[in-house]
């Protein structure tokens, strides 16, 4: 069956980006973040492609159980969640590490009576104020759990709120808060997300947690990544077919509410993709689209199934040609900037009706 929209997932690029994280943090173990269906790329395929990572992190118990059912045997970490005694038993039975972020979670852990040991990562709130314990709570939790026979390894972690800022002040403060809160406590430590891996090497402790960088999106300005020779490759390339081409006269409009009006005789191409596929509805006029290696621009409001683009400055464009919405040759970060969003949302918003086509799959066969 021919498809008008596809998302090509290059697993070789995913493996390449993992190697970039390893190069930047050579003395740390890698906890590859594949939550939210691997940021929309497909969690099982991504997990298999990331077999050389030391562990994989997810955000929902269902994701972790899916990976185990698919034969993924790597260390799994379940990030911030609500876990009752039944969920904890499932984690223990399936060898899934859990992150604990409050005293209620500690109480539930202590009350559980699993026949298997459970690895626990205690989360410190170093300034994000979303999840995590303060220093006193963290130390109390560590002491209580250390004496519990069904608790195995213990880790210590936090999450940065502004590691992608060029001003390092907030990240430095959070790092110092974590180090003070955990001083003298046993267990491995994990601080750095993608942005911190790239520009805050002092945060590379026992583990690092690359997320968005694995999928080829740069969380920092290109000038920063050039300084450390970072070369990320896009993993997802979103494509849509041209299904119509029409001339538009000066003064004529296209799309809902006449948001775009031609200022010259224009050639418009209609692409079979819209917000129901995950293309951002708030993308502005002028958002770039790549057609046969040439840049065209969005002209008019994004609708559910279709967009129109100005191809007047392009050559030899025909019905049936494929356009790249983001990916190879057109960074997702650039498209995100035209829609007042971030690449994370672009990737995770690609809907289930868009087939994922996996290439360079030799590592997952």
Active-site residues, by number, are: 35, 256
Q: Would you give the distance in Å from CA 245 to the centre of its chain?
A: 35
Residue 361 structure tokens: 């799959």
Read off the DSSP letter of residue 330: B
Check if the beta carbon of residue 212 is closer than 8 Å to that of residue 219. Answer: yes
Strand, coil or helix: what is 27?
coil
Q: Give the residue among 190, 208, 203, 204 at the shortest CA–CA distance from 124.
A: 190
CA distance 318 to 321: 6
Q: Give the residue among 84, 47, 52 at the shortest CA–CA distance from 63.
A: 47
End-to-end CA, the chain: 24
Check if the beta carbon of residue 288 is closer than 8 Å to that of residue 313. Answer: no
Residue 110 structure tokens: 């202590």
CA 294, 300, 303, 308: dihedral to nearest 10 degrees? -30
List the beta strands (DSSP E) in the chain.
5-10, 29-33, 55-58, 75-78, 96-100, 118-123, 151-157, 188-190, 207-208, 236-248, 253-254, 260-261, 266-271, 288-291, 294-298, 307-310, 322-326, 356-359
Which H or E run includes 38?
Answer: helix 35-40
Residue 323 structure tokens: 């356009």
């Amino acid at each position: 069956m021919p498809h008008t929209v596809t998302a090509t997932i290059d697993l070789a690029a995913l493996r390449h980006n993992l190697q970039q994280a390893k190069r930047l943090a050579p003395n740390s173990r890698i906890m590859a973040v594949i939550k939210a269906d691997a940021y929309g790329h497909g969690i099982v395929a991504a997990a298999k492609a990331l077999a050389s990572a030391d562990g994989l992190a997810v955000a929902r118990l269902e994701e972790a159980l899916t990976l185990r059912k698919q034969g993924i045997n790597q260390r799994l970490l379940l990030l911030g969640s609500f876990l009752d005694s039944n969920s904890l038993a499932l984690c223990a039975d399936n060898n899934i590490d859990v992150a604990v972020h409050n005293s209620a979670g500690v109480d539930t852990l202590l009350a559980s009576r699993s026949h298997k040991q459970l690895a626990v990562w205690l989360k410190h709130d170093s300034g994000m104020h979303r999840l995590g314990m303060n220093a006193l709570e963290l130390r109390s939790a560590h002491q209580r759990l250390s004496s519990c026979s069904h608790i195995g390894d213990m880790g210590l972690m936090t999450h940065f709120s502004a590691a992608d800022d060029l001003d390092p002040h907030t990240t430095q403060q959070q790092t110092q808060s974590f180090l003070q809160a955990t001083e003298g406590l046993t267990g491995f430590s994990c601080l750095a997300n993608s942005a911190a891996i790239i520009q805050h090497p002092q945060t590379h402790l026992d583990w690092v947690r690359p997320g968005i960088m694995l999928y080829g999106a740069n969380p920092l300005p290109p000038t920063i990544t050039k300084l450390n020779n970072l070369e990320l490759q896009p993993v997802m390339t979103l494509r849509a077919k041209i299904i119509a081409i029409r001339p538009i006269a000066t003064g004529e409009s296209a799309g809902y509410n006449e948001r775009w009006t031609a200022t010259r005789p224009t050639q418009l191409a209609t692409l079979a993709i819209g917000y129901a596929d995950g293309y951002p509805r708030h993308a502005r006029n002028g958002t770039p689209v790549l057609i046969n290696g040439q840049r065209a621009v969005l002209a008019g409001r994004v609708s559910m199934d279709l967009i129109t683009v100005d191809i007047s400055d392009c050559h030899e464009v025909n019905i049936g040609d494929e356009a790249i919405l983001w990916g190879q040759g057109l960074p997702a970060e650039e498209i995100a900037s035209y829609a007042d969003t971030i690449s994370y949302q672009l990737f995770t918003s690609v809907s289930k009706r868009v087939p994922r086509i996996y290439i360079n799959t030799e590592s997952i066969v």
